[in-house]
Amino acid sequence: MSSECRSINSVLSKIPIKGLAVILVFSVVIFAANWYVDQEVPWVPFEERCSSDYPQFGVVLNHHRFIEEGSIQSEDNMTYPPGAFWKDGVAMRGCPCRVRTCARRCCGCSSTHTCVNTRKFSRTLE
C-alpha cells in the first residue's frame, strides 16, 4: 500500500461515525430545502418577465401620461415604449428592465425582489 493511501486511510479512520452522520443529515436537509424552493419559485425566462402573467417583475405607473407613438411616461420621466407596459386591472404597470439595464441579484429564500430599486441613495458610485 502506498504512503498516500495509508495517509488517507488514517485520516478517514479518525473521523467519528457521529460526525459523518451529522454531515449526511445536514446534506440531506440542504438538498431538500433547495428542492422545495425550486418547486415554489419557478425560474422565469427574461422574455416572459414583465407581463400580466408575472406582475411582480413590473412597477405600478402612478401619474403616467401617454406620449407619442403609444409610449407612456412615468412620473419620474422614464419613457416606456409599447411592449414595456400593460394594464393590470385598473393600474398601469411598466417594466423598467425593458427600458434600462437592470442588475439581477439573488435574494434569501423568504425574500422577493424586482428589478427596481426600492431605496433612493444619496451617494453616487465613483
Interval 10-49: pLDDT, tens? 666 666 776 777 788 888 888 777 776 655 556 777 677 7
More confident residue, 16 or 105: 16
Containing structural domain, residue 20: 1-40
User: Do 74 and 124 reside in the same domain of the chain?
Assistant: yes
- For cell 446534506, the residue is 27
Pair 121, 80 in one domain: yes
Same domain, residue pair 124 and 80: yes
Domain shared by 35 and 60, yes or no: no
Residue 110 has a pLDDT of 52
Q: State whether residue 115 is helix, strand or coil.
A: coil
* Higher per-residue pLDDT: 96 or 3: 96
Residue 27 sits in the same domain as residue 89: no
Q: How many domains does the chain have?
A: 2
Strands 72-73 and 79-80: antiparallel
Q: Are residues 98 and 126 in the same domain?
A: yes
| Same domain, yes or no: 32 and 60 | no
